[in-house]
Chains A and B, each alone.
Chain A
Amino acid sequence: MRPILLSGHERSLNQIKFNSDGDLLFSVSKDKVVCAWWSANGERLGTYNGHQGAIWTVDVSPNTILLATGSADNTVRLWNVKTGECVKVWDFPTAVKRVEFNPEGTQLLAVTEKRMGFLGTITVLDINYDNNFENQAEEPSLRITCDESKATVAGWSYLSKYIIAGHEDGSVSQYDAKTGDLEKNVQAHEFDLQINDIQFSPDRTYFITASKDKSAKLISARDLSVLKTYVADTPLNSAVITPKKDYVILGGGQAAMDVTTTSARQGKFEARFYHKIFEDEIGRVRGHFGPLNTVGVHPSGTAYASGGEDGYVRVHHFDKSYFDFMYEVEREQMRK
């Protein structure tokens, strides 16, 4: 498995995202530039310029027409994927830590930071594709305020029924996506260790969380019951569920601020593969020389990419052995 090294960023990566076809990869970093890459060979397709601060988050609409980014310059920007034009800027009172399109591509959620007297919020914006994207509503259609513990990440459940949010205190909440009412809150991770990432399964019925408490959990979107727990030996920044094969990929490593105080061999800057159902660690992929901030997987499950504090994105296309690997019990199940 030879990785393709994407070295287009000058600072640490914050999020990477494959589009729904898997041919494009979008990456954002602290250097204020959004990059788009061909996932097959790592060639850079282009950049989206305009943000004034570190970009925390990126998402692409399901039809790969619009791109949304959230940044430390307190804005959410909407871009035309094809032309690279910025079609809309929404201003917020604080930094935007996470954006995500709903499965239909009609709405966009944005998680805003708690700062300077403003509480953290999850804001829902309506997206309009008509008239060259110029008819975007100025006002959000829904605003959820997190007055207890701020949300750090959020995403849409199946059928855009719920908004699922991960919080700074290690809990996970389920909100009604229409009304914004809090339906459930579960202390899924250790108290006061924040959830750094939430990524959904392809049908969005369950999701995986990555937490500072050195574990990742597979949680049902319907009732927030914890289905599986994956224990690592280092704080986790990102986790993703692989389609096609029943694996999950976890990324993390010693927190960036602690790295210089310890030896390099202790950093644990590896992508870890666990079996989704049996919770066993299957393998690790080395390469980064800083913690992994984000991992993403190709929607057809043939490749994955990781973005690190070291400023590199590494794209790996899986070998045959990856697809062949199977537990004996799985093989039996197949034969039946």
Chain B
Amino acid sequence: MAPSFDTLTEQDLHEEEEEEIDFSDLKEQFEVKLEEGLDTFVVIDGLPVVPEESRQKLIRFLLRKLNAAGHTSEDAVFMPVSEKNMTEGFAFVEYETPEQAVAAVKQLHGTPLDKKHTLAVNKLMDIDRYGREGRIDEEYKPPMIEPFKEKEHLRSWLGDANARDQFALYRGDKVGVFWNNKNNPPENVVDRAHWTQLFVQWSPKGTFLASVHPQGIQLWGGAAFSKLKQFPHPFVQLVEFSPAEKYLTTWSSRPIQVEEGGPAVLSYEEDGKNIIVWDIVTGKPLRSFVSHDLAAGPSEAGVEPKKKVQWPAFKWSADEKYVARMQQGQSISIYELPRMNLLDKTSIKVDGVMDFEWSPATVAREGVKQYEQLLCFWTPEIGSNPARVALMSVPSKEIVRTRNLFNVSDVKLHWQSQGTYVCVKVDRHSKSKKSMATNLEIFRIKEKGVPVEVVDSLKDTVINFAWEPNGGRFVLITTGEAASGAAVAPKTSVSFFAPEKKGGSAGNFKLIRTVDKKNSNAIYWSPKGRFVVVATVHSQTSFDMDFWDMDFEGEKPEGEKDLAANLQLMKTAEHYGVTDVDWDPTGRYVVSSASVWTHSMENGWNLHTFSGQTLAENPTEKFKQFIWRPRPATLLSKEEQKQVRKNLREYSKEFDEEDKYAVDIANTAVVEKRQRVLSEWVAWIRREKEYLVEDKDTYGFPENADDPKLARDAPPASENQGDAVVEEIVEEIIEENEEVIG
């Protein structure tokens, strides 16, 4: 099976039989009309029926509308009159060019003329083509409803007896899905050549695997990864799922050109657009948009700076009820799902808005009863107004908290995964704009009045920041100023922060420790929290990964007694040329990979445990992408999870036994295989020797012509003569050596 996009539809699978296919019906349908000149004509239906006297008046009235789409004149409108001296309710119009005619159909079809009349505009050619006699059956035939077909279970992979995780691997032209088997080689599920053109992507809960083709997006799923849905967006480059996998956003740098005979789901609505929001279940576009580019940096030396693509262009609220996008510097538009209509029919004007983020979870603020989703945005200093970070409640659009900031160069918004905190990382410059510093302003969303805590200003620039998932701790990386002209990047420092222990609630954030003189530039938290990998990626010279434990079960330094953390470096692993680090969704394994997309040296992926022990190295030629299949949220309640954690020791005993058993089985299999291979080899050698003796007879060689040679080669035979021979030879040579030197 070569699942290129073209061969995905059923009828296309039979392309081989091309010669036997009767094309006459298709030919008829798509026949190219050579009689030219009629392309400029459109037919307008739905006009009022008026007496002949008022005909000219109607035509003139109509012309005003018609000229909006192209050029035409009074003479070019032909409105026939019936025997009763009344118009027929339709007219023929000739435009100057066929393009104008097409534009008229696009713009005017379905528009109201007045309260009672709605225009129906069609190309004359189309009416001729589709309305020709015999084309339409006189009798209505209900369309065939396909019989229901049972689909594969989309979440079957979660039922694996050993709770293994799956991952997708893209290397060369092939994409495969595999089971992770710890230190044993992964078990293949499917492996297909040319499965995707650009990359593959899992949906956020792991149900779908998306492949990207020039013709659009294809979703795959189920136990056998059969095709599920197609989203025909020509030349699509980026794709994003909504958090609960109901919707899909696709983007292409090329505006869509809707052509006749193209994918049926795209209508003229989509013409000229870059972004489509799709409904995954129906496979239909909900709405399409032209993308807003981000303002690029200041143009340098007359070179027009490249426009940056804003991606994700649309940001989803946690419950998928809203999706928003920003026109940088001007406004935020919030759309309501599932209709995709603009909330309150208007965009929210926010002067100078630079960035916004939804809360990643639905948060209940203290003292707030009604439903709300929270959104955080910031605006820079404009004139004498200070920069501002604000928290907006949706759907009320009320600003529930703001904070003014001064001397701001840049702001980054980091939500904690449960929406408990939002950390606003403020890069500030001194008045002279010469030195930089970073402030962390942490909004405590769930506390009364949303208090803001300012973490002591850091003198260096923060280049990376990450919250612990479902926790209250964070890691950040700072760097000094790059020495001008230096080839090496400046050293970085990694700082760990944790809240103070203070009764039930979390106290102020305090620095646990700072590790200096590192090259690290990336932070990867375990999806379950507690463990974090701090790595140096995309670097030519260093490629270390530090595995940290935030709740080390050992002695705690006296000075950190009050902190809700006990930091410990577990291990440092190295992976030459590492470009990506990925945690599996359960937080048990970490994969570091070096992709050919970044460099072509020693591509491949390595599997580590959460504690940094390397389980397997998989150098892979033309390795491109490794992605773990995400899992949906657990169905166990908090109490049940606690119970599991309590009884972990008992469970792990079981698992240890299982593991041991599996190892035993595997070892026996290996030994058996080796025994078989060895006896096969011995038998082959023996047979070969018999043949050789026969051949020697026929050639007339004495039977023991080169016996000494044979003895050396055939171990089973020579070994019978005893091992004393082996040792003797070795010793003799050593002695000989000494004599020569002496």
> Considering the chains assembled together, what is the distance between the CA atoms of A198 and B710 in angstroms?
19
Interface centre among A265, A266, A329 (most CB of B within 10 A): A329
Q: Which residues on the B side are within 8 Å of A40 (C-beta)?
A: 733, 736-737, 740
Q: Contact check, B741 vs A41: say whether CB atoms are below 8 A apart.
A: yes
> Considering the chains assembled together, what is the distance between the CA atoms of A299 and B713 in angstroms?
10
Q: Which of B155-163, B224-232, B369-377, B690-698 contacts A (4 or more CB under 8 A)?
A: B690-698
Q: Does chain A have a CB within 8 A of B296?
A: no
Q: Contact check, B730 vs A103: say whether CB atoms are below 8 A apart.
A: no
Q: Contact check, A244 vs B737: say whether CB atoms are below 8 A apart.
A: no
Q: Does chain B have a CB within 8 A of A3?
A: no
Q: Which residues on the B side are within 8 Å of A222 (C-beta)?
A: 688, 691
A333 contact from B706, B716, B729, Cβ within 8 A: B716
Q: Does chain A have a CB within 8 A of B619?
A: yes
Chain A 296-336 per-residue mask, 1 if CB under 8 angstroms from chain B, else 0: 00011110000000000000010010010001111011100
> Considering the chains assembled together, what is the distance between the CA atoms of A300 and B713 in angstroms?
9
Q: Contact check, A203 vs B706: say whether CB atoms are below 8 A apart.
A: yes
Q: Would A159 and B729 be within 8 Å (CB), given that A103-B706, A277-B677, A333-B716 are in contact?
A: no
Q: Which residues on the A side are within 8 Å of B671 (C-beta)?
A: 328-329
Q: Does chain B have a CB within 8 A of A220?
A: yes
Q: Which residues on the B side are within 8 Å of A203 (C-beta)?
A: 689, 692, 706, 709-710, 713-714
Q: Which residues on the A side are within 8 Å of B729 (C-beta)?
A: 300, 302
Chain A 142-176 per-residue mask, 1 if CB under 8 angstroms from chain B, else 0: 00000000000000001101000000000000000
Q: Which residues on the A side are within 8 Å of B740 (C-beta)?
A: 40-41
Q: Contact check, A205 vs B692: say whether CB atoms are below 8 A apart.
A: yes
Chain B 705-742 per-residue mask, 1 if CB under 8 angstroms from chain A, else 0: 01001101111100100010010011001001100110
Residue of B with least CB distance to A158: B692
Q: Which residues on the A side are within 8 Å of B148 (C-beta)?
A: none
Q: Contact check, A329 vs B710: say whether CB atoms are below 8 A apart.
A: no
Q: Contact check, B730 vs A302: say whether CB atoms are below 8 A apart.
A: yes
Q: Does chain A have a CB within 8 A of B602?
A: yes
Q: Contact check, B674 vs A243: say whether CB atoms are below 8 A apart.
A: no
> Considering the chains assembled together, what is the distance between the CA atoms of A103 and B710 in angstroms?
13
Chain A 211-239 per-residue mask, 1 if CB under 8 angstroms from chain B, else 0: 00000000010100001000001000000
Residue of A with least CB distance to B675: A329
> Considering the chains assembled together, what is the distance between the CA atoms of A96 and B368 in angstroms?
90
> Considering the chains assembled together, what is the distance between the CA atoms of A262 and B677 in angstroms?
39
Q: Does chain A have a CB within 8 A of B531?
A: no
Q: Contact check, A330 vs B695: say whether CB atoms are below 8 A apart.
A: no
Q: Which residues of chain A (176-206) have a CB below 8 Å from chain B?
A: 201-203, 205-206
Q: Does chain B have a CB within 8 A of A118?
A: no
Q: Does chain A have a CB within 8 A of B601?
A: yes
Q: Does chain A have a CB within 8 A of B699?
A: yes
Q: Does chain B have a CB within 8 A of A139?
A: no
Q: Contact check, B710 vs A202: say whether CB atoms are below 8 A apart.
A: yes
Q: Does chain B have a CB within 8 A of A278?
A: yes
Q: Does chain A have a CB within 8 A of B358?
A: no
Instruction: Report the minimum CB–CB distance from A264 to chain B (whole Å).
Output: 11
Q: Contact check, B692 vs A246: say whether CB atoms are below 8 A apart.
A: no
Instruction: Report the minimum CB–CB distance from B682 to chain A (whole Å).
Output: 8
Q: Which residues on the B side are within 8 Å of A246 (C-beta)?
A: 715
> Considering the chains assembled together, what is the distance between the CA atoms of A265 and B712 in angstroms?
37
Q: Contact check, B730 vs A323: say whether CB atoms are below 8 A apart.
A: yes
Q: Which residues on the A side are within 8 Å of B723 (C-beta)?
A: 334
Interface centre among A41, A103, A277, A327 (most CB of B within 10 A): A277
Q: Does chain A have a CB within 8 A of B244?
A: no
Interface centre among A203, A243, A278, A332 (most CB of B within 10 A): A203
Residue of A with least CB distance to B725: A244
Q: Which residues on the A side are within 8 Å of B726 (C-beta)?
A: 244, 323
Chain B 588-621 per-residue mask, 1 if CB under 8 angstroms from chain A, else 0: 0000000000000110000000000000000100
Residue of A with least CB distance to B713: A202
Q: Does chain A have a CB within 8 A of B678?
A: yes
Residue of A with least CB distance to B696: A159
| A: interface residue count bin | 35 or more
Residue of A with least CB distance to B691: A222
Q: Would A263 and B601 be within 8 Å (CB), given that A41-B741, A159-B695, A159-B696 are in contact?
A: yes
Say what secondary structure dominates the interface of chain A.
loop
Q: Contact check, A327 vs B674: say whether CB atoms are below 8 A apart.
A: yes
Q: Contact check, A277 vs B681: say whether CB atoms are below 8 A apart.
A: yes
Instruction: Report the minimum CB–CB distance from A144 to chain B (whole Å).
Output: 21
> Considering the chains assembled together, what is the distance between the CA atoms of A222 and B713 in angstroms?
17
Q: Contact check, A330 vs B678: say whether CB atoms are below 8 A apart.
A: yes
Q: Contact check, B695 vs A329: say whether CB atoms are below 8 A apart.
A: no
> Considering the chains assembled together, what is the distance between the CA atoms of A159 and B737 in angstroms?
35
Q: Which residues on the B side are within 8 Å of A245 (C-beta)?
A: 715
Q: Which residues on the B side are within 8 Å of A265 (C-beta)?
A: 576, 602
Q: Which residues of chain B (316-367) have a CB below 8 Å from chain A?
A: none
Q: Contact check, B601 vs A266: say whether CB atoms are below 8 A apart.
A: yes
Q: Which residues of chain B (58-90) have a CB below 8 Å from chain A?
A: none
Q: Which residues on the A side are within 8 Å of B719 (C-beta)?
A: 334
Q: Which residues on the A side are within 8 Å of B677 (C-beta)?
A: 277-278
Q: Does chain A have a CB within 8 A of B311?
A: no
Q: Contact check, B712 vs A244: say whether CB atoms are below 8 A apart.
A: yes
B695 contact from A158, A202, A299, A327, Cβ within 8 A: A158
Q: Which residues on the B side are within 8 Å of A158 (C-beta)?
A: 692, 695
Residue of B with least CB distance to A245: B715
Q: Which residues of chain A (34-91) have a CB below 8 Å from chain B?
A: 40-41
Instruction: Report the minimum CB–CB distance from B50 to chain A (whole Å).
Output: 79
> Considering the chains assembled together, what is the distance between the CA atoms of A205 and B714 in angstroms?
11
Instruction: Report the minimum CB–CB distance from A198 to chain B (whole Å).
Output: 17
Q: Would A159 and B712 be within 8 Å (CB), given that A227-B684, A317-B733, A333-B678 are in contact?
A: no
Instruction: Report the minimum CB–CB distance from A276 to chain B (whole Å).
Output: 8
> Considering the chains assembled together, what is the distance between the CA atoms of A263 and B602 in angstroms?
10
> Considering the chains assembled together, what is the distance between the CA atoms of A330 and B675 in angstroms?
8
> Considering the chains assembled together, what is the distance between the CA atoms of A329 and B670 in angstroms?
10
Q: Which residues on the B side are within 8 Å of A330 (C-beta)?
A: 678
Q: Does chain A have a CB within 8 A of B701?
A: yes
> Considering the chains assembled together, what is the distance between the CA atoms of A152 and B515 in angstroms?
59
> Considering the chains assembled together, what is the distance between the CA atoms of A332 and B689 in angstroms?
23
Q: Which residues of chain B (119-161) have a CB below 8 Å from chain A?
A: none
Q: Which residues on the A side are within 8 Å of B699 (C-beta)?
A: 159, 161
> Considering the chains assembled together, what is the distance between the CA atoms of A41 and B576 in angstroms?
39
Q: Which residues of chain B (662-692) have a CB below 8 Å from chain A?
A: 671, 674-675, 677-678, 681-682, 684, 688-689, 691-692
Q: Which residues on the A side are within 8 Å of B716 (C-beta)?
A: 333
Instruction: Report the minimum CB–CB distance from A145 to chain B (whole Å).
Output: 26
Q: Contact check, B678 vs A329: say whether CB atoms are below 8 A apart.
A: yes
Residue of B with least CB distance to A244: B712
Instruction: Report the minimum CB–CB distance from B622 to chain A (whole Å).
Output: 13
Q: Contact check, B692 vs A329: say whether CB atoms are below 8 A apart.
A: no
Instruction: Report the minimum CB–CB distance from B712 to chain A (whole Å).
Output: 5
Instruction: Report the minimum CB–CB distance from A137 to chain B (whole Å).
Output: 23
Q: Which residues on the A side are within 8 Å of B706 (C-beta)?
A: 103, 203
Instruction: Report the minimum CB–CB distance from A190 to chain B (whole Å).
Output: 14
Chain A 250-287 per-residue mask, 1 if CB under 8 angstroms from chain B, else 0: 00000000000011011000000000011000000000
Q: Contact check, A201 vs B713: say whether CB atoms are below 8 A apart.
A: yes
Q: Contact check, B730 vs A262: say whether CB atoms are below 8 A apart.
A: no
Q: Contact check, B678 vs A277: say whether CB atoms are below 8 A apart.
A: yes
Q: Which residues on the B side are within 8 Å of A202 (C-beta)?
A: 709-710, 712-713
Q: Which residues on the A side are within 8 Å of B601 (C-beta)?
A: 262-263, 266
9 A-B interface contacts by CB (under 8 A)? A40-B740, A103-B706, A205-B688, A205-B692, A222-B691, A233-B619, A300-B729, A302-B730, A329-B671
The 9 closest A-B pairs by CB, nearest first: A202-B713, A329-B674, A243-B712, A202-B709, A277-B681, A205-B688, A329-B675, A203-B710, A203-B713
Q: What 15 additional pairs, Cβ within 8 angstroms, besides A203-B689, A203-B692?
A: A40-B733, A40-B737, A41-B741, A159-B699, A202-B712, A203-B709, A203-B713, A205-B692, A222-B688, A262-B601, A302-B733, A317-B733, A320-B730, A328-B671, A328-B674
Binding site for A on B (CB under 8 A): 576, 601-602, 619, 671, 674-675, 677-678, 681-682, 684, 688-689, 691-692, 695-696, 699, 701, 706, 709-710, 712-716, 719, 723, 726, 729-730, 733, 736-737, 740-741
